[in-house]
Every structure is written in structure tokens, then in C-alpha cells.
Chain A
Amino acid sequence: MRRTDRRVLRALRTIPSYMLLALVSVAFIGPIVWMVSGSLKSRNEVLRYPPTLIPEEFRWDNYAQVFELQPFDRQFLNSIVIMALVCALTLAVAIPAGYALARVRPRGAAAIFLLLLSGIFLPPESVIIPLFRFAAQLGWIDTYIPLVVFTATLFTAPVAMFVMRQAFVILPQEFEEAATLDGASRWRTMFRIFLPLVKPSIASAVVFTAWYSWNQFLEPLVYLRSRQMLTVPVALTLFEDPLAGPRWNIQMAATTLSVLPVLIVFLFAQRQIVSGLTAGGLKS
């Protein structure tokens, strides 16, 4: 009897949570609904104010136009490839660095930490000119390379390093001591014992890095040139008539197209993070 009481009580307790969540989500999702509805309107209807929620006629053709006006599939792929490369390079350098700063702590760790972090304090628009000239000298214009290398080293790896450091720092010392007693080598300790424990933080480092790369605008604008190489944010600005201005309906169709796959991956990754955690064995 007591148990059922508690269950009912618990269920009741979730109601305010749901209400709060729903309220917050409406504020966040409202604009998205607006975007999707705009993507299905005619060029003229999308300009109407106040906006109509349901298009008077569904223009699925807008989605076809996205691909007629730009090689959007290729541009989407560019964004994905660049994002994946940035993530890979970022994790490859940031996980060891974060681990070293949190658990190994060689002499001068504090100074190295601040040095590594310094990249994120640079305003991108003020370093773009020297970096662009550098890239031009190396023949990197219209390639993915500057977008991967510069972005990872200056902006995403510092943040990912920070994320990883903060994740490693809270792990209890006993693990390390136990490993040392076992005679596990330093590398094994890092890979086998600590790495599995910080999976959620690796995931958030990936999410941050992917997001940063995905949203970059100034850098791809400057480094990339041919239509086949452009990324999504730059391509979005090209759905525009040189004399009449933005074609909002097509832009919104393209934005919707670009958001959906990422969203699906995100939902999927969420589940992975949660299950990865329970498998990680923190409770033991």
C-alpha cells in the first residue's frame, strides 16, 4: 500500500515538471514551426505579415528548388565532412591534453592550460586576414584544410580540452591508484580506466565541436569559393535574387532540410550517451 502511494505521488510530482518543460519548449520550438511553415509557402505568402501558420497552398516545390538553385546535397555533404574532420582532429588532440592537465599534471600544467585556452579568446574576424593570407600562401584556398586545421587548433580543441579536463578532474583518485597497483601502464590507465568513465563529456565535446563547425560562417565564406565546395551556412545566403532580395521560402526550405538530419542524429546520440553511461559502471 505504501508503495502504490509513493508511485502515485511520484507521478503527480512529474506534472509540474512536464508543464514547465512544455512551456519552455514552446518558446524554443515556436520559431521552428514558423520556419517549417514558411518553407512551404509561396514566395509572396512568406512575406505576409502577420504570418499565416498553415500555408494556403503547400509548395513542396520549394524543396525541389533548393537543389535546382544550388548543389545543396553536395554542400550539405561538405558541411558534414568538415564537421567530422574537425571533430576527429579536435578529439585526437584534446582528450590527451585534457587528461594530462587533469590527472598527470606535469610541471607548468597551469601555464600550459591557459596557453591552450587562449585561442578561444581571439575574435575570429580579427585573425581572419593573417590566417587567410597564410592559407593562400599554402595553396589551401577552396579546400577543407583551413576550415579543419585552423578551427580545430584555435577554437574547438581548446574548448574540448577544457571539457575533458573538467571531466577527468572529478574522477576519484582510487581508480588511478588501483590501476597502478595492478601494474597497468600509463597508457592503459588512460584508455582502459579513465576514458570509459568520461563518455558523456566526450559526447558533449563532440556536440560542441560539431555545433561550432556547423555554424561557422565567416571562415567558409572566406576560404571557400566554388559552389561545389561551399558549406550550408554560406549556401543559405545564396538563395537570393540579386535585384529583389532574399527568397525566404527557399531559404527556409533549405534550412529545414539542413536541420532535420542533424536533429535525427542528435536524438539518436542522446540515447547513446545515456546507455553508454549506464554501461560505464560508475555506480559500482
Chain B
Amino acid sequence: MRTRPRVWLSVALSAALCTIAAPVGAQDEVDLRMTIWSANPAHVELFEQLGAEFAAASPTVSGVTIESFNLAELDTLFTTQIAAGDPPDVSWLPVEASLQYRQAGALIDLKPVIDATPDFDFADFIPALLERWVDGDAVYGIPFSTGPLVMYYNKDLYAQAGVKDPGQLIAEGNWTWDAFRETSKQLHEALGTPSYVLNDFDFKNWTRLLPYMFAYGASPWDDTATSCTMDSPEMIEAMQVFHGMTFDDGSMPLPGQQVDFWGGQVGATSAFLGSSANLVDAPFEWGLVQTPAGSAGDTVATGQASIVALAAGRHTTEAAEFVAFLASKDAMAKYSAYFPPIRESLLTPEVLVGASLVLTPELVAPMIDGVKTNGKVFPVAADNSAVATALNRALDEHLYQPGVDVAQALASVCAEIAPLLK
């Protein structure tokens, strides 16, 4: 019943439309598909070039097609393509999806190819920052972009209000959340507008709270991602600072309130290093520092994305080879000007500043030190999309409200997400 009508339909409809049909792919040579969430021509060309280089050297691969999409569409595209049996061979994958994909067996172990590649120098990768992609001996993805959450601040606004800015607090050796909370409050009182905003947070994206959490040694779940620690004393301490700044001090925007640091209305923001592109043409003096320390010292919350080979793809061997090629030192050197690497030999201020119009080696150097010594990649759960959705939802319902008891709110949050952590 299946095939007949489909064939018939295919013929009929194709004929009816006088077809703009797709060319049928060649059979004996392998064409790889790689998806990336950048449409910047410079990035696309770079990966196309690397693809061509790889194809030229490979006996079986005839070419690599680079397809761009928007990161927001990743879930939709992958779900559809994998479910319909037509996934890409190689892709970028955000760290949030790492454990989920790994445990489902959706990613190919790259270790054999890595070992077989001469001069790969796997030890060059900072081990602590590889954690999410490694399982025993197996390696399921090579991080190509590892960006710390850092703090940008508007020097002009602080000067105008006569409040000590983060740079001055650091100089005093007083760079803590408590000190920053106090100056934020003063800034808010002087200017009337919110003085600190979490970039890209919007009360929907819990990972942007990580600078608070990590500073107090808190994490939403334990190391094995099996039990909820949202109600831990550390977390309560961290969230009390955040909640107080938002609902008591008025120094952070309320839910729904639109403020933007890049435009110059807000004193400070925490954002990825790559967000510095928004500061091109900024009409104010700005500074760049690490996020403040808490009772657990300073930890640099770090986002990450890897290049992976998908197990559902048609050409898994070639896909794994291509990933290893892209992760080689020579290839990585070509794109590390755009994407912060974790290859220690490439992780230098000069490399990172590379293509940026606003960053300087002096600004970036302390950030790199922070990542190298205290970098901690986002915590990830096994069923991460479900857990993250539930967590965002529960925080919105219980914590992001004025006048709530933080400890109680976090207990309610745990009650909702605990069942999803196995």
C-alpha cells in the first residue's frame, strides 16, 4: 500500500509541475553534508575551503557541502531530518546537547580516527574543558568554540554617577558579588535605570545565571546529573543575590523589561566574549572583566560547541575523518580567530583577538587565564532539553516573582525537575 501511490504521485506531480527537480547524486563518490549555525560568508567560505582541502586529500570523498541555519532552529531541523532518515554527516553541536546525544548513541566515537591521525596532538586540548564530550576513552566531539561568560561595563555611566566601576573594584582587590551588588544598587539609585543585565537571559535561559551559581559553588544538579541540587545552601545563597538585585534593589531588569547594555543604557552585562561584536561603534567607553567571585572563589562559566559526526549519517567513516581533519592544529588555527579554541597552543590573546574590531590582547589576556585555570563548562543533564525546559519553567513560576522566599521557591523548583533527573 505504501510504495505504489507514492510512485504514482511522484510521477504525476513531477510531470504536472514540469519539474525543477534535484539532480541525482553520484553513487560511488561520497558527498558529505555539514551543518553550521553561522551564515557569515567568511565562516562559510572557511569551512567550504577546509572541506575542499579534505576532499582533495581523501580517496573516497568528492566534496563537502556546508549548510547554514540559525541556532534557534537546530532542534527543529535535527528532529525532522533524523526522524526522516536524512541527517547531516557532520555538524556543530552545542554542549547543552552533548550528554543527550551521547547517551542515545547519536554520535560517533572519534578516538580511533584521532589516534590514527599523525600529529593530531590530542594532549594539546585542555582536559578539563573536554569533559562533556569524553566518556572513558571515547571522544564524541571536538570543541571548536569555547567562550567564557565575561562582564562588560560602561565606564561612562559609572563615572557619571560617581560609583566605583568593576575595574576599580578589581584594583581594590574587592571583586565579589557582594561588592558588585552594592555598587549596582548605588548606580541604580543614581540613574534610575537597571544597572546590570544578563545578556540573552530574558528569564527564559537559566544558563545565564551560571556566573552567580558557580561563584558560590552551586550547580543545578550533582556531578552525575542524577539528583537535584537547586535547593542546596550554595544555590540559595547565589539565588538570593540574584533575586535581591532584581526584586529588592531594582538594579536588574524585571521580567519583560527591555534594557540593553550594548546601546549604553545599562552599567554592566555578563555575556559571551564573542558578544563584543555588538560594541563596534559603541558611543561610550567600556571595560571587560571576569565575572565577580563569591564564597567559592572565582570560576569562569564557559559555553561550548563541538564538531561532531552523527551516527545516523550515511557516511560515518568519512564523517569521523572529516571531524578529525577539522580538529587538527592546522585547520583549527584557521578558524580560531572567530571561535575560541581549547587547544592550548592556539589559546593565546593574539589568536583570540584575531578578527575582532574591538578586542585587544591586553583586554583578552586575563579572560584566557581565567578559562585556562578556572574554566568550567555549563552543566548538562542526560535528558537536557526536557530538564532545561522544566527548569526554566519552574524558575519562572517560583523564583522570578517578587516577594518570594528564595529557599522555598528553590525547593519547589527541585520538586519539579528532580523526576526528570534519573
A-B contact count (CB 8 A): 137
User: Are B280 and A43 touching (Cβ within 8 A)?
Assistant: yes
User: Are B13 and A240 touching (Cβ within 8 A)?
Assistant: no
**How big is the B interface, by class?**
35 or more
Point out the residues of chain B lying under 8 angstroms from A225, CB to CB. Answer: 65, 67
User: Are B43 and A245 touching (Cβ within 8 A)?
Assistant: no
Closest partner residue, chain B, to A129 (CB atom)? B83
Q: Would you call A68 an interface residue if the criterion is a C-beta within 8 Å of the partner chain's C-beta atoms?
A: yes
Given contacts A68-B41, A225-B67, is CB(A132)–CB(B80) below 8 Å? yes
User: Are B263 and A45 touching (Cβ within 8 A)?
Assistant: yes
Q: How would residues 235 to 265 of chain A score, 1 for a CB under 8 Å from any chain B CB and 0 otherwise?
A: 0011111111100000000000000000000
Q: Would you call A25 an interface residue if the criterion is a C-beta within 8 Å of the partner chain's C-beta atoms?
A: no
Given contacts A218-B76, A244-B277, is CB(A69)–CB(B40) below 8 Å? yes
User: Are B40 and A241 touching (Cβ within 8 A)?
Assistant: yes
- Give A237 to B77 CA distance when docked, in angstroms: 14
CB-CB contacts below 8 Å: A114-154 with B: 128-129, 132-134, 136-145, 148-149
Point out the residues of chain A lying under 8 angstroms from B20, CB to CB. Answer: 143-145
Point out the residues of chain A lying under 8 angstroms from B39, CB to CB. Answer: 69-70, 227, 238-240
Q: Would you call B22 an interface residue if the criterion is a C-beta within 8 Å of the partner chain's C-beta atoms?
A: yes
Q: Would you call B123 an interface residue if the criterion is a C-beta within 8 Å of the partner chain's C-beta atoms?
A: no
Total contacting residues, chain A, CB less than 8 A: 43
Point out the residues of chain B lying under 8 angstroms from A244, CB to CB. Answer: 272, 274-278
Q: How would residues 61 to 78 of chain B score, 1 for a CB under 8 Å from any chain A CB and 0 otherwise?
A: 000010111111100110
Q: Would you call B389 an interface residue if the criterion is a C-beta within 8 Å of the partner chain's C-beta atoms?
A: no
Query: Within the complex, what minimum Cβ distance (angstroms) separates A270 from chain B?
Result: 30
User: Are A43 and B278 touching (Cβ within 8 A)?
Assistant: yes
User: Are B200 and A149 touching (Cβ within 8 A)?
Assistant: no
Closest partner residue, chain B, to A145 (CB atom)? B17
- Give A39 to B20 CA distance when docked, in angstroms: 35
Closest partner residue, chain B, to A128 (CB atom)? B80
Q: How would residues 83 to 106 of chain B score, 1 for a CB under 8 Å from any chain A CB and 0 otherwise?
A: 111100000000000000000000
User: Are B22 and A237 touching (Cβ within 8 A)?
Assistant: no
User: 3 tightest A-B contacts by CB?
Assistant: A243-B274, A48-B263, A238-B39
Q: Which residues of B contact A (CB under 8 A)?
A: 6, 9-10, 13-14, 17, 19-22, 24, 36-41, 43-44, 65, 67-73, 76-77, 79-81, 83-86, 145, 147, 200, 258-260, 262-265, 272-283, 338-339
Instruction: List 15 additional A-B contacts (Cβ < 8 Å) besides A44-B280, A143-B20, A242-B38.
Output: A49-B258, A68-B41, A132-B84, A136-B84, A139-B21, A145-B13, A145-B17, A226-B67, A227-B39, A227-B44, A238-B68, A241-B40, A243-B273, A243-B274, A244-B275
Q: Which residues of A contact B (CB under 8 A)?
A: 42-45, 47-49, 68-70, 85, 128-129, 132-134, 136-145, 148-149, 218, 221-222, 225-227, 237-245
- Sample (14) of A-B pairs whose CB atoms are under 8 Å apart: A42-B280, A44-B283, A48-B260, A129-B84, A132-B86, A138-B6, A141-B22, A237-B73, A239-B39, A241-B38, A242-B40, A243-B275, A244-B274, A245-B200
